[in-house]
Amino acid sequence: ISCATFFFLRVPGWQQSLAELMYDDISEPEQLHSQARLLVQSELLRQRYHPDVPKLIPKIIHQTFKSNNIPAKLRPLLQTWREFNPGYEIRFYDDTACRQFVATEFPEYFDAYQSLPKDVERADFFRYMVVL
């Protein structure tokens, strides 16, 4: 599963920024659930203390996996993004959908995308394009 989020907000009274908290060990689903809760709380803090500051990042979450056949143990993790981000659009892409997206939206880069030797390289390249 590929989910990339960067939060560098330092909350008054906390010793760690949210970015530092996010990179703590999240090897257990319960820990990921806690981390997701922190992200929701950070948005609530922004709304409470800085309501006049517009949110410039669109409410879209892009998720990728190599196929639509998500292993059962990973499905709850995908669902936490939906659960903790009501009102956000969730877009899921498997490898085929990623190729189609690049071919349609960035045809000038399709050959370069296809020529990358590793799946992880294509996934990284796709992530840059999908957020443009």
- Residue 129 and residue 97 in contact, taking contact as beta carbons nearer than 8 Å: no
pLDDT value for 67: 94
d(CA 2, CA 12): 30
Nearest to 24 by CA among 9, 34, 12, 11: 34
Nearest 5 degrees, angle CA 94-CA 100-CA 101? 85
Long-range contacts (CB closer than 8 Å, 24 or more residues apart) made by 23-32: 29/76, 29/77, 32/77, 32/80
d(CA 21, CA 7): 10
The model's pTM = 0.60
- Residue 4 and residue 127 in contact, taking contact as beta carbons nearer than 8 Å: yes
pLDDT value for 58: 84
Place of tokens 């296809």: 114
pLDDT value for 68: 94
Per-run averaged pLDDT (10 residues), the chain, 132 residues = 42 46 48 60 71 76 94 91 91 97 96 96 94 88
- Residue 121 and residue 93 in contact, taking contact as beta carbons nearer than 8 Å: no
pLDDT value for 52: 75
